[in-house]
A and B are shown apart, each in its own frame.
Chain A
């Protein structure tokens, strides 16, 4: 084999394979945000639909396969194909990644509508959208609601539902390279809202009392974190991680006299171990 060919293979190798999968586990039954959230009353929101059980990043050649498993079969009650969607309707996952691990680098605010912040030493550099919405709609939402984050938002090449798992594929290059176990990750599960508030990035609101299409157990202002489930602790699915999630998401304040007041909850970033 010519040296130049060997050199090319050596150069490309890190981009083509990074070795072991990166896997996180999350406890069953913690799809309650800060411990108080409840599902909307409409029958499409079936028990466990937003309860993360596992998040996996898998080497798929030039691509990364991101899979998120929840505790109920993923369904398509709103016929997503009709609106250019990806074969499911309800779930909306956000995979935040801190790729440079530098304090102060990246975004410390979540995408609009999630109402969360990230630690200063673990700001996110990339976010992968696991959305039922098609590319056209997502691009429009990014342009109008998250323009300043545009270069950091990754729309996967494909997103589909497989049983109780969302599976998305995206080029490694979209993340700046193959995922590394030195990176930090956070998966926030939300619900796809086709008619979102003008500031919300396709996220479903959480109110004080549940409604037909709104989660309950939060606050009527947008001070509470609109995150139904996320990774916490070491991301190994230990029982104590549910409490760690509740504690993190409870750490916000609201001002009953000011819709824009209060302080946001800070969600942890998890480094795979």
Chain B
């Protein structure tokens, strides 16, 4: 008996010691997605370019992830995140992924790795902390790049949070006055570069070389006085390619230093080393001052500069060859931006009344290829789309579901916002007014070879019924900021609020009204008025929310939109049409939280009636839902 107890004590001690050095966490995520159509898959909008077989509107699937944290030593820890590939339906029994037949069959091996739920190493990192202020910590491996900002190297979207890799150093030689962060970041080969590539797939490159493509970031922070913070940030992104005329390069044009006619190539000599050129480079610098010295207000000033250089010998011109779908201006350009923001609290002595104001001026040539792609917002305004405004053309409105937020590019925007917020116990109200002019205004802009239009630059964007190919007339691409002819002025007025009625367990009533005035004279030539665009977009939303019991809240509401658009789309030759669009969207939202379990269900009916002058009118009746269940431990 004593021996048994001793053994138990020893085992227990060992187990405890292991627990201290080793942490495990897990998560299961399940999603149900249904719509009254016949597409099958688990993501409403998947890859817009390469076909995948996980995109679709009907299905249920799960994902498991495992996080391991090990304390290697007192000051060194390491972690990994392993997650199963998302995309398999519950119905996909036996999918192995080892074979992918050309069509689905009953073998259980027809859908490839996307549906085999294999566990993939998603993230891995080692962090060492040091007892010196000059170098406090070193992180090697995965990072979400949250240490930079939206204008330089943006924080990765949530689903990509561990995909980025690099080496990061942090130190604070003086805790208050001088802190720094340095990063060496491996460029994602599939989206940070001309044509969303750092080489692979570019037809101009004989031998794409991406293993030495890096970005570099350096940040200095200082609190020079109480309530003041200054941040200086610089990043350089560089995609390099090998010199194919170098005789040492694999696939060299002149492996023997002779041209096609057999003549010696001048200065050509093998030396065992391969030269490289820059295919694309982008430098961005920002300087930000945050001042909170006064309890009555808060102030922020941010400015920056960018330089973007693309080598037309090494990067295919997607503006010219890909119908304007390209994440950069295809030229060597430099641009700048300024943003100044102020907040005044308890204005005029009224408790809870806040005035926020902002001036923004973003140059038409401000380019940040590695800027934040989604899940961020750099401007105060509610904008045209509800998600947010980001300063890059390289936005990511893909791999999303119908209820996810959309993000729009604000490159070239110049204007200001005034926002009043009033918060009392029963009611919160916000009133916004924004005016936007455009630094991208111009006539005869070269959209054939230099400025990307993303093919679709006309009409208010319908994010409810979006399709990449635009067969449904969904309007402007959120990345579009350039037109061949543009002279545009926009205004946004928004009123939103929440009334906590206090009825029962706490009935809340919410509302949001938004009106957008959008005028674009387009071609301003003498007598050219038939192409003038005028969009009057009105959206109203109201909902009731009630917590029926502990952890369970039900919301019921509806959104109605009416768009009146003169000359929504067309060409001077074909003519333009005056279109009107009506949309109604009643919805139900359930949220349940119980211990570590979170459940969310959203159901909506979408009715859309598009009355189009030049094209056949269209009507939609869409019923769709999404439910998610998460448990983490």
Could you list which residues of chain A lie within 8 angstroms of chain B, going by C-beta atoms? 28, 41-44, 46-48, 60, 62-63, 65, 69, 71-73, 77, 79, 82, 84, 135-137, 139-140, 142-144, 157-158, 160, 162-165, 167, 169, 195, 198, 208-212, 216, 220-221, 257-259
CB of B292 within 8 A of CB of A164, answer yes
Q: Which residues of chain A have C-beta atoms less than 8 A from B596's C-beta?
A: 144, 198
Which B residues touch A79, using CB under 8 A? 375
Residue of B nearest to A142 (CB): B550
CA distance A71 to B293 in the complex (A): 10
Q: Are B16 and A257 in contact (CB under 8 A)?
A: yes
The answer to whether A60 touches B351, judged by C-beta atoms less than 8 angstroms apart, is: yes
Q: Given A47-B175, A208-B74, are A63 and B425 also a contact pair (CB < 8 Å)? A: yes
Asked whether A195 and B345 contact (CB < 8 A) given A47-B175, A137-B593, A158-B428, the answer is no
Contact check, B550 vs A140: say whether CB atoms are below 8 A apart. Answer: yes
The 8 Å CB contact of B298, one of A28, A42, A73, is A73
For residue B343, CB closer than 8 A to chain A, the reply is yes
In the assembled complex, B354 has its CB within 8 A of some CB on chain A:
yes
| Residues on the B chain within 8 Å of A221, using CB | 20
- For the complex of A and B, list the 6 residue pairs with the smallest distance between their C-beta atoms, beginning with the closest: A140-B593, A43-B147, A140-B551, A163-B298, A144-B595, A139-B550
Residues of the A chain whose Cβ atoms lie less than 8 Å from the Cβ of B595: 140, 143-144
**CB 8 Å contact bits of B356-377 with A (1 = contact, 0 = none):** 0000000000000000000100
Chain B residues with CB under 8 Å of A41's CB are 127, 129, 136-137, 139, 170
User: Chain A residues near B594 (CB, 8 Å)?
Assistant: 140, 143-144
- In the assembled complex, the Cα of A136 lies from the Cα of B552 at a distance in Å of 6
* Bound Cα distance A267, B221 (Å): 34
Given contacts A47-B179, A163-B345, 5 further A-B contacts (CB under 8 A): A62-B425, A139-B547, A164-B227, A164-B292, A169-B425
Q: How far is the CA of A143 from the CA of B224 in the complex (A)?
A: 45
- A111 to chain B minimum Cβ distance, whole angstroms, is 16
**Which of B74, B181, B550 is the one whose CB lies under 8 Å from A143?**
B550
Interface residues of B in 136-171 (CB under 8 A from A): 136-137, 139, 146-147, 170
Instruction: Tell me which residues across on chain B come within 8 A of A169, comparing CB atoms.
Output: 425
Contact with A along B602-633 (1 / 0, CB 8 A): 00000000000000000000000000000011
Check if B519 is an interface residue, CB within 8 A of chain A. no
B423 and A160 within 8 A (CB):
yes
Q: Please, how many angstroms separate the alpha-carbon atoms of A46 and B181 in the complex?
A: 13
Contact B20–A135 (Cβ < 8 Å): no
Closest CB of chain A to B157's CB: distance in Å?
Answer: 11
Q: Which of B25, B227, B297, B506 has the most CB of A within 10 A?
A: B227
Cβ-defined contact, A42 with B345, below 8 A: no
Tell which of B75, B136, B298, B506 touches A135, judged by Cβ atoms closer than 8 Å: B506
Nearest Cβ distance between residue A105 and chain B, in whole angstroms? Answer: 26
Binary flags per residue of B407-431, CB closer than 8 Å to A gives 1, else 0: 0000000000000000101001000
Q: Hey, which chain B residues are within 8 Å of A216, CB to CB?
A: 129
A28 to B547, CA, bound (A): 40
Count of A-B residue pairs with CB < 8 Å: 116
Q: Separation in Å of the B345 CB from the closest CB of chain A? A: 5
Which of B's residues lie within 8 Å of A, judged by CB?
Answer: 13, 16, 19-20, 25, 69, 71, 74-75, 77, 127, 129, 136-137, 139, 146-147, 170, 175-176, 179, 181, 221, 223, 226-227, 229, 290, 292, 295, 297-298, 343, 345, 351-352, 354, 375, 405, 423, 425, 428, 500, 506, 547, 550-553, 591, 593-596, 632-633
List the A side residues contacting B375 at CB < 8 Å: 79
Classify the interface of chain A: helix, strand, loop or mixed: loop
Complex CA distance for A84 and B598, rounded to whole angstroms: 12
Cα A148 to Cα B328 in complex, Å, equals 59
B555 CB to nearest A CB, Å: 10
**B342 CB → nearest A CB, Å:** 11
A139 near B425: Cβ-Cβ < 8 Å:
no
Q: How far is the CA of A46 from the CA of B227 in the complex (A)?
A: 12
B290–A73 touching, CB < 8 Å: yes
Does A44 contact B146, Cβ atoms closer than 8 Å?
A: yes
B20 with A198: CB separation less than 8 A = no
Contact at A259–B19, with CB atoms within 8 Å? yes
Question: Given A41-B170, A43-B146, A46-B229, does the pair A162, B553 have CB atoms closer than 8 Å?
Answer: no
Verify B129–A47 contact, CB threshold 8 A: no
CA distance A217 to B66 in the complex (A): 27
Q: Which of A69, A136, A195, A220 has the most CB of B within 10 A?
A: A136
Please give, as numbers and ranges, the residues of chain A lying within 8 Å of B127 by CB-CB distance: 41, 211-212
**Which residues of A lie under 8 Å from residue B547 when comparing CB positions?**
135-136, 139
Q: Beyond A139-B550, A139-B551, A163-B297, is A211–B343 a contact (Cβ under 8 Å)?
A: no
State whether A164 and B298 are in contact (beta carbons under 8 Å apart), knowing that A140-B551, A157-B500, A169-B425 are contacts in the complex: yes
Q: List 5 contacting pairs A-B, 8 Å CB cutoff, sorted by A.
A: A41-B139, A60-B351, A144-B594, A158-B425, A210-B129
Give chain B residues whose Cβ lies under 8 Å from the Cβ of A139: 547, 550-551, 593
Least Cβ distance of A211 to chain B in Å? 6
Residues of B within 8 A of A167 (CB): 352, 423
**A42–B146 alpha-carbon span in the complex (Å):** 8
Give bound CA distance, A164 to B632, whole Å: 32
Interface pair B146/A163, CB less than 8 Å apart? no
Contact A60 B13 (CB under 8 A): no
Q: Which residues of the partner chain B approach A158 to less than 8 Å between Cβ atoms?
A: 423, 425, 428, 500
Contact between chains at B181 and A43 (CB < 8 Å): yes
Minimum CB distance partner of B594 in chain A: A140
Contact between B591 and A84 (Cβ–Cβ < 8 Å)?
yes
CB of A262, distance to nearest CB on chain B (Å) = 14
- Find chain B residues with CB under 8 A from A71 CB: 226-227
